[in-house]
Amino acid sequence: MVLTDILKRWQQLKGNKAILCTGTDEHGLKVQQASAKAGIDPKPFCDKGSEIFKELARKADVTNDHFARTTDKEHKDAVGYAWFLLQEKGYIYTSQHDGWYSITDEAFYPQSAVQLYLDPPTGRKIMTSIETGSEVEWSSEKNYHFRLSAFRDPLLEFYKANPSWISPEHRMKEVVEAVESGLEDLSISRPSSRLTWGIRVPHDETQTIYVWLDALMNYVNKVGYPWQPGLESVGGWPADCHVIGKDIMRFHCVYWPAFLMALGLPLPKQILTHGHWTLGGSKMSKSTGKVVDPFNALDRFGPDVMRFYLAHDGGLTQDADYDNIRIIQMYNKFLNDSLGNLVSRIVRGKRWSVRGAIERVGDKLEEGCQEGPGSRFYKNTLCSMATDVEAAIESYDPRKAVRLLAEFVRGTNQFLQMSAPWSKILPYASGNPGEEVDKIIFLASEGIRISGILLQPYMPNKAKHLLDMLGVDDSRRTFEYCRPGCDMEYGTPMVDLGTSYQGVLFPPLASEE
């Protein structure tokens, strides 16, 4: 959710309209069994779970425009309509299905995709999915099938025409190799005698629609599907980017595009996959107690710090290990000591003025930075920063982008430290520290201003506070103002900078336990 929100806010920073959809996938055998174990009916069980995720999104400052629930009536209607079209087009037929089924993954696996596994805690010998490690059981039943095999060549042609459709790159290769090895037709229903919790197959109450065909339709449903003729793209489809965990690639990168092709609908333009968060180097698991409560983390560190940490340390290519100590170190060493201290030194300096520096040297910034002190920082860092961040995030690597921003902040700090304006202040002109000091303060201020604008997708509240401290007008906080020298109106704080921690961007943590 955080990654997707960063991408949405980035588009808004560029002046584009952006829509974010998240939600809860609520049908299936897994939910049916979990609600039975909890002793309540599936719907109130899902209502409770859905509200938890809605609240989590709110606490993390995720600006979702839609929260899709697969139990919503309009969703059920859209799924029924899609089923009808697939059946009319001849893509659905009935057949006996035998295979290894995982309740956890809501998926069938062929013999080649399962293995025998000895469960250490119980000593049981079980069959598991090689891909996910989830337990599977043998199932034999008659149900409806989707002609997935018919889409092997169309999918491969699409992948070839769009070689960077899935990022990171190595996961694109994994999907292509999987499809090249062949596709079996997909079982898309379950006997309702076994799976009662789900959407019934139209005109066949004995079968329940497969959870993944059901769930995937929420993407188009929330932007108006089924559309009236001529209004297909009004709601925003096709999506510019789907953000998914690496464990559901098969559903989003093989099944979903095949369903869309069968329905005659355009495919999403990009799939961004990410790794998992581990704890202590191993997979999080509620059964073993190796979990992190995101609500506690948000309460302890705040949404901006957690969003920054998740984006900075989260794994796209590989998994990442969650660590509270790492968050504290990042807070102390970077957010407090590097970024916060930099802002404080510049805007709260008693012997210089940001506004005064802008007024005195701002109009000759480019001319004054061709040579001498500051020229290297200006040419090699300040002028290229926004372009580098833009390239990273628009290649769907928000982690690289935020790391570039962190390096930029450190570089600005280093420039200020090496330039040492405090040692160059003229002693005889009160309120005017001298042109060299003004130039250093203005360049450092520009570094802070551009950093603040670019950090808005990651830390919306702290970035706003930073820009308020610097006095940047609300209308000048977009990407077009990320060029040095393009805003000469800031420098008068919009907030009381205070005398203690009131005006400090990142005050010391209350506890480091």
- CATH 3.40.50.620 describes domain 2-94+149-297: yes
Burial class (CB in 10 A: 0-12, 13-18, 19+), 386: buried
Q: Where, residue-wise, is CATH 3.40.50.620 in the chain?
A: 2-94+149-297
- Regarding the domain with residue range 340-481, which homologous superfamily does it belong to in the CATH classification? Isoleucyl-tRNA Synthetase; Domain 1 (1.10.730.10)
Residues 139 and 108: beta-carbon distance below 8 Å? yes
**Exposure letters 432-463 (e unless 16+ CB within 10 A, then b):** bbbebbbbbbbbbbbbbbbbbbbbbbbbbebb
Whether the link from the prior residue into 226 is cis, omega within 30° of 0, is yes
Residues 508 and 489: beta-carbon distance below 8 Å? no
- Divide the 513 residues of the chain into consecutive groups of 10 and give the mean pLDDT of each group: 98 96 92 92 95 97 95 94 96 86 80 84 85 83 93 98 96 96 92 92 94 91 87 86 95 97 96 95 80 95 98 95 96 95 92 93 76 78 93 96 96 94 84 88 96 98 96 97 94 82 78 49
pLDDT of residue 477: 98
Q: Where, residue-wise, is CATH 1.10.730.10 in the chain?
A: 340-481
Residues 141 and 97: beta-carbon distance below 8 Å? yes
- Find all residues with CB under 8 Å of 489, minimum gap 6, and list them: 473, 476
pLDDT of residue 512: 47
Token code pair at residue 467:
């820009």
pLDDT of residue 513: 43
pLDDT of residue 511: 56
